[in-house]
């Protein structure tokens, strides 16, 4: 009797989930890039002058993003508590090998890098999409910083897990024994309210980059695509748009919003060479798997979203005066990604997502980012009297 053969049905559902994940990652990236571009927080003068308190678009957008993200999560916790609990536990696990010095040192490096290259691990992709050529050198520096971290630093600073009782791994709601929905709602309203309040104190149209105004228009009636073609939108509105993406990320992709790991995933592709992968096992773990590639797809989407925004507004390409010189771009990118990997995230991963999850370590990181950036900005200003934005 001939042995029977069993047909193994092709799992179409797995393929469908993969395709859906890819599409969601790219679409959310396009929205992120579009909002960041319209908020004008991607040009180097805006980032640098925020740290000098001469411009406030970046602060408005960040406060609105975190506030809206918190309100979104409050809604998600109310409707899908188990899903959000899974996300938070995964986020804490991701940070379980980082102590307070990691957060302070990494966050401070990010702040220094932001001033040096006039960018951050998220906005650099927006800069690429807007045609700021210097940003390509920032990306190069970021890759070098990522390799430096995994070759020389990672194994030295990520030796063992911290106990779950460690302060940096605890959530504010647990420390004060208050339900997370209440904390999220209160913090969300306060932060979003501060962002909107700043719009009244410092009107957003008075805080715009001059080169954007020269190339683009603020009149929706004369812009391509009406309001979609405006050179800028209120930063608080753009920040709220980014904050809502947190809800989409958690609900559709089952992970927190973050983008700096895109550099890690891209850098890890060299580990597909067997000997390299064996030599760098910690980096090799990022080389495979769709879950890892979500951040990279998100970054590519951000480039396209920024390019779309700039094309509609007629501001593409932006000149080199909106970036920094080659040396500053490479050095700043290196410092940025070294800091982001030490801290376990950047202004998106630790700032927006970590603060949304109410993790103490993320609040420390965010304070270190802005604290380091402000101190370095003022010390640089005092020592040089005036900053130069050099052409390539």
Q: Considering only residues 165 and 9, tell me which one the structure prediction assigns the higher pLDDT.
A: 165
d(CA 377, CA 72): 33
**Max mean pLDDT range (94-108, 144-158, 217-231):** 94-108
Q: Measuring CA to CA, how many Å separate 203 from each of 57, 67, 190, 241, 377?
A: 10, 20, 19, 19, 24
Least confident range of 130-134, 226-230, 234-238: 226-230
Helix (H) / strand (E) element for 242: namely helix 235-248
Burial (CB count <10 Å: 0-12, 13-18, 19+), residue 271: buried
- Rounded CA-CA distance 38/237 in Å is 10
Per-residue pLDDT band at 386 (split at 50, 70, 90): very low
- Asked whether the beta carbons of 148 and 343 are under 8 A apart, the reply is no
Percentage of the chain beyond pLDDT 70 is: 89
At residue 267, does pLDDT exceed 80?
yes
User: Rounded to an integer, what distance in angstroms lies between the CA atom of residue 356 and that of residue 368?
Assistant: 17
Cβ-based neighbours of 218, under 8 Å, separated by 6 or more: 205, 208, 230, 231, 232
Tokens coding 349:
């991963």
Residue for token pair 């370095």: 376
- pLDDT higher than threshold 70 for residue 384: no
Judged against a pLDDT cut of 50, whether residue 7 lies above it is answered with: no
pLDDT of residue 14: 55
pLDDT band at 145 (very low <50, low <70, confident <90, very high): very high
Structural domain boundaries in the chain: 20-383
336 CB contacts (<8 Å, ≥6 apart)? 109, 110, 113, 114, 117, 119, 120, 121, 124, 138, 141, 142, 145, 346
Please report how the helices 44-51 and 360-384 are oriented relative to each other, as an axis angle in degrees rounded to 10: 100
Residue-wise pLDDT tens digits, 158-187: 678 899 899 999 999 999 999 999 999 999
Q: What confidence category does residue 287 fall into, taking pLDDT thresholds of 50, 70 and 90? A: very high
On average, the pLDDT of the chain sits at 90
In the Cβ-directed half-sphere of 19, how many Cα atoms lie within 13 Å? 5
Confidence label for 316 from pLDDT (cuts 50, 70 and 90): confident
Q: What sign has the CA pseudo-torsion 318, 371, 58, 253?
A: positive
In the chain, the percentage of residues whose pLDDT exceeds 90 is 74
Tell which residue, 154, 156, 124, 98, has the closest CA to residue 336.
124
Binned at pLDDT 50, 70 and 90, residue 12 comes out as low
């Amino acid at each position: 009797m001939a042995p029977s053969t069993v047909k193994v049905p092709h799992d179409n559902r797995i393929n469908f989930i993969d395709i859906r994940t890819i599409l969601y990652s790219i679409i959310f990236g396009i929205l992120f890039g579009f909002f960041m571009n319209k908020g004008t927080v991607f040009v180097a003068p805006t980032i640098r002058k925020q740290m000098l308190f001469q411009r406030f678009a970046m602060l408005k957008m960040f406060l609105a993003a975190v506030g809206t993200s918190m309100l979104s999560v409050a809604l998600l916790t109310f409707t899908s508590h188990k899903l959000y609990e899974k996300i938070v536990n995964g986020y804490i696990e991701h940070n379980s090998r980082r102590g307070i010095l990691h957060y302070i040192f990494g966050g401070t490096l990010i702040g220094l890098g932001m001033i040096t290259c006039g960018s951050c691990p998220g906005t650099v992709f927006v800069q690429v999409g807007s045609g700021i050529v210097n940003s390509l050198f920032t990306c190069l520096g970021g890759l070098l910083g990522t390799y430096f971290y995994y070759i020389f630093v990672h194994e030295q600073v990520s030796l063992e897990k911290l106990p779950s009782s460690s302060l940096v791994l605890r959530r504010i709601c647990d420390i004060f024994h208050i339900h997370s929905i209440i904390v999220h709602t209160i913090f969300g309203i306060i932060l979003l309210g501060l962002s909107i309040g700043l719009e009244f104190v410092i009107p957003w149209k008075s805080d715009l980059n001059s080169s954007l105004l020269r190339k683009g228009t603020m009149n929706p009636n004369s812009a391509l695509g009406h309001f979609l073609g405006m050179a800028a939108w209120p930063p608080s509105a753009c920040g709220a748009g980014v904050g809502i993406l947190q809800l989409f990320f958690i609900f559709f992709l089952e992970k927190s919003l973050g983008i700096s790991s895109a550099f890690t995933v891209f850098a890890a592709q060299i580990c597909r060479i067997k000997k390299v992968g064996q030599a760098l096992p910690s980096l090799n773990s990022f080389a495979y798997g769709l879950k890892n590639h979500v951040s990279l797809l998100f970054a590519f989407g951000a480039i396209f979203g920024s390019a779309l925004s700039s094309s509609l507004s007629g501001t593409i390409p932006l000149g080199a005066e909106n970036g920094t010189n080659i040396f500053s771009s490479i050095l700043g990118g290196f410092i940025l990604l070294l800091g982001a990997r030490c801290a376990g995230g950047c202004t998106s991963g630790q700032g927006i997502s970590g603060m949304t999850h109410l993790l103490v370590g993320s609040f420390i990181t965010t304070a270190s980012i802005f604290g380091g950036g402000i101190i370095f900005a003022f010390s640089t200003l005092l020592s040089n009297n005036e900053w130069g934005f050099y052409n390539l």
